[in-house]
Structures are given as C-alpha cells and as structure tokens.
Amino acid sequence: MNNTPALYEAVDSKILEKVGKHPKAFVDIYFPEIYTLCVEILNDNKKEPARILDRRLQALRKKGLIHHVTGKGWVKMIPQEGKEGNSGG
C-alpha cells in the first residue's frame, strides 16, 4: 500500500507549522522533522530528499499559502479580507 499522499500532507503540514511571518531559510525548514519525512517518501530511491521539500514548497506557493522572499526565505501568506473577486474599480 502506497502511503505517499499522506506523507505529502504531513510534509505540507510541517512546512506550514515552521513558516511564519518572518522569512525562514530552506535549511531551517528542512531539518530535522521534514528531512525524515522526505527520506520516507523516497523509500530507498537514490534521489536527493531535499528535492521533495523543494517541490512541496513550490506546491504551497502555487496554492497561495506561502511566498518566497528573495535572499531571505519563506513566509506564510496572510489572507486579506475583501480581496476575493475585487477588481478595485
């Protein structure tokens, strides 16, 4: 039985726990809990576990949950009220 989707959800959850309003570097997000989950997802595949975290960060970014601040790290997006469907005009 492949439990990979549940592991991806666990990685996403851990990322969202670690990322806040102040930028957090990749390495600070990666170790130690997320590294362990990434290794488990790879399941003895010879690929680099950090690629799993990179893909999950990008997936959360595309969902609008986090944002990358160049040269600083990842931050959690703060939902803004009244932004949905508002064209500003």
Q: Which domain holds residue 36?
A: 4-76
- pLDDT at residue 47, rounded to an integer: 85
Q: Is residue 83 domain-resident?
A: no
Q: Which long-range contacts (CB under 8 A, 24 or more apart) does 2-11 make?
A: 4/41, 7/37, 7/40, 7/41, 8/41, 8/56, 10/37, 11/37, 11/38, 11/41, 11/52, 11/53, 11/56
CATH of the domain at 14: 1.10.10
Q: Is residue 87 domain-resident?
A: no
Tens digit of each residue's pLDDT (9 = 90 or more) over 9-67 = 999 999 999 999 999 999 999 999 999 999 999 986 778 999 999 999 999 999 999 99
Q: Is residue 15 domain-resident?
A: yes
In this predicted structure, the answer to whether residue 2 has a pLDDT above a threshold of 90 is no
Q: Is residue 13 domain-resident?
A: yes
